[in-house]
Amino acid sequence: MKKKVGEIDAKTATELKRQAGDIVLEQGDQNFGQTHIELRHGDQIRQAGYENVETFVEKVAQDKINCCVKDRTLPTSPEPC
């Protein structure tokens, strides 16, 4: 199962020289995706005030897109801009 957690629109894609499209979070397993994030970081995410993993990933995806557009660069690390 895949859940849309964000989108790179055509304008942003052009600015970043990337393909437009959906950002998806796959269900995954213990090694990747939502299951992995929940198992490894779920408690931390909720302690930080997020309702769940999906909400957290949506926020991170949107923040990264906004930073990339502002800086006109692609992220090279998970650190905030």
Residue 76 lies in a domain: no
CB 4 within 8 A of CB 62: no
Given pLDDT bands bounded at 50, 70 and 90, which one contains residue 76? Answer: very low
Q: Can you give the pLDDT at residue 71?
A: 65
Residue 22 lies in a domain: yes
Query: Smallest Cα–Cα separation from 28: which of 39, 20, 19?
Result: 39
Residue 36 lies in a domain: yes
The mean pLDDT of the chain is 83
Residue 33 lies in a domain: yes
| Domain total in the chain | 1
Residue 25 lies in a domain: yes
Domain that holds residue 18: 2-71
Query: Whole-angstrom Cα distance, residue 48 to residue 50?
Result: 6
pLDDT score of 47 more than 60: yes
Q: Can you give the pLDDT at residue 77?
A: 47
pLDDT digits (tens, 9 = 90+) for 5-39: 888 889 888 888 889 999 899 999 999 999 999 99
